[in-house]
Copies of this chain bind each other. A is one copy, B any other.
């Protein structure tokens, strides 16, 4: 653990942000930087409070384009974005969630189980748009550059695209909720995915009434945010080489 990261001297936008340092050559302006940091800090997993009105096509295209500009191993761009607005498709997905959620609740003892069941964990029907982000491991041919030793990098790239989408949605005032309480096999059937294509994320998107000031699980005391200093290590896991 690196002690100095315990202290939030680096608070974004704080007086010490520039210090006496010369601006680095390719550094963004202060305003541009704050746009990025604000998006990162104010992004939330939005599960409820979706307003019903649809997302304009031009805005949807912008956030999809943002996702598509993530880096990918060997430039393979393994992602697809399935836009789901149809009520029947959504209802099928919602049923898959309900089943998985009932099973998931059983692993908790009371009073945790009641707390779990009291939380709204998805907005499949309320969100005007759902997006399934998939990963096609065959994209880019059999010898994707850089994927020889770690084939899972196709999935990693897809997740980077999802984070871009999430941040772009936030600056547009759109909330995104990632529904992970789903059977992947059932989802593949409903969305008629080819056997080799993985559904990586099922996202619910729309304009929310509000963004919470902190993650819901932090707010309700489910888990605490870890201090940054506890998760930053020096040189090796056991830090034997720490200078």
Q: A residues near B, CB below 8 A?
A: 2, 4-5, 8-10, 12, 16-17, 19, 21, 23-29, 31-41, 43-45, 56-59, 61-62, 64-66, 68-71, 73-77, 79-86, 88-89, 100, 103-104, 107-108, 116, 121, 134, 140, 143, 145-150, 152-153, 155-156, 159-160, 162-164, 166-168, 170-174, 178, 180-184, 190-194, 197, 200-201, 207-208, 210-211, 215, 217-218, 222-223, 225-226, 228, 231-238, 240-241, 243
**CA A202 to CA B18, docked complex, whole Å:** 28
Contact between A103 and B32, CB atoms less than 8 A apart: no
Contact between B86 and A192, CB atoms less than 8 A apart: no
Measured between C-beta atoms, what is the minimum distance from A60 to chain B in Å? 9
Q: Which residues of B contact A68 (CB under 8 A)?
A: 226, 228, 231
Measured between C-beta atoms, what is the minimum distance from A76 to chain B in Å? 7
Measured between C-beta atoms, what is the minimum distance from A175 to chain B in Å? 8
Measured between C-beta atoms, what is the minimum distance from A58 to chain B in Å? 5
Q: Which residues of B contact A61 (CB under 8 A)?
A: 4-5, 9-10, 228
A236-B89 in contact given A74-B217, A140-B223, A156-B200 (Cβ < 8 Å): yes
Contact between A181 and B62, CB atoms less than 8 A apart: no
**CA A243 to CA B74, docked complex, whole Å:** 35
Contact between A28 and B21, CB atoms less than 8 A apart: no
Contact between B77 and A226, CB atoms less than 8 A apart: yes
Contact of A163 among B143, B164, B180, B237 (CB under 8 A): B164
**CA A97 to CA B73, docked complex, whole Å:** 16
Contact between A100 and B148, CB atoms less than 8 A apart: yes
**CA A5 to CA B104, docked complex, whole Å:** 38
A57-B149 in contact given A26-B211, A163-B160, A233-B83 (Cβ < 8 Å): no
Contact between A19 and B148, CB atoms less than 8 A apart: no
**CA A156 to CA B167, docked complex, whole Å:** 16
Contact of A231 among B12, B81, B155 (CB under 8 A): B81
Contact between A197 and B237, CB atoms less than 8 A apart: yes
Q: Which residues of B contact A170 (CB under 8 A)?
A: 28
**CA A34 to CA B172, docked complex, whole Å:** 11
Contact between B237 and A192, CB atoms less than 8 A apart: yes
